[in-house]
Amino acid sequence: MIKILQSRENIPLLVAGAVLLTAVLAWLAPAEATLGEAVKLVYVHAALMWVGFGLLTFGGAAGVLYALRRNEALIVWSSGTAVAGIMMLIATGLMGMLTAKITWGAVFWAEPRMLMLGQILGAGLIATLAGRISGSKSVTGAANFGLAVVAWVLVIRTERIIHPVSPIFRSDSTAIKVFPLLITAMIAFAGLQAVRYWATTDK
């Protein structure tokens, strides 16, 4: 089993399995009194959001460690996790728009959390271009760290107007709390495996 998990050639199957299990968990997850079955989209939306932030944080930390230790593997992982984090945030944005359309009947483009996501993605584009254009691993690491800082500052400072407070942690239902955590774990596993596929080669 350990060899199966370690082999690079098996990573696509691991990612596909994790995505499939995520879909199954979302389907099995309980509905919620206010949003009904649509809350299952919220579970996935929230999971993508926090995994995206986790990956950006990992990328920023690896960028700082590269500056201190000059280990080539660190900058590869820094770049991989930063890109994966950006992709997760794009996915959560699309999922959020779908959820808003279903639950509210419209997408509110001026909602602060929506604008925040656009700002983070813009910062991600700048960070990616900075690394590519400069060709410097040090610049890439610093840009990934800056992206992580910008993302956290924005999410902490951005207010909610239309975007509701999470129904997950306000719920008294253990299942409503546990299923989103399981979904988040599966998405995180898939994301990290995808980065590992890009960052490593079979020996």
The model's pTM is 0.86
C-alpha to C-alpha distance for 93 and 114, rounded to whole angstroms: 8
For a pLDDT cut of 70, what percent of the chain falls above it? 87
**Where is pLDDT greater, at 29 or 164?**
29
Check: CATH 1.10.3470 for 8-199?
Answer: no
Q: How many residues does the chain have?
A: 203
| In the predicted structure, residue 166 carries a pLDDT above the cut 50 | yes
Q: Comparing C-alpha atoms, which of 87, 65, 88, 89 is closest to residue 77?
A: 65
Please, what is the average pLDDT of the chain?
86
**Where is pLDDT greater, at 108 or 92?**
92
* The pLDDT value given to residue 149: 96
- Give the relative orientation of helices 174-199 and 39-69 as an angle to the nearest 10 degrees: 40
For a pLDDT cut of 90, what percent of the chain falls above it? 54
| In the predicted structure, residue 64 carries a pLDDT above the cut 90 | yes
Cα-trace Rg, the chain? 18
| In the predicted structure, residue 202 carries a pLDDT above the cut 50 | no
* The pLDDT value given to residue 120: 94
pLDDT in tens, 72-106: 899 999 999 999 999 999 999 998 888 888 877 77
- The confidence band for 114, taking pLDDT boundaries of 50, 70 and 90, is confident
| In the predicted structure, residue 40 carries a pLDDT above the cut 80 | yes
Q: Name, of 13-22, 25-34, 100-109, the range with top average pLDDT.
A: 13-22
How many H helices and E strands in the chain?
8, 0
C-alpha to C-alpha distance for 102 and 39, rounded to whole angstroms: 10
**Where is pLDDT greater, at 31 or 51?**
51
End-to-end CA gap in the chain: 18
pLDDT in tens, 118-131: 999 999 999 999 98
Q: Name the phi and psi angles at 32, rounded to 5.
A: -130, 150
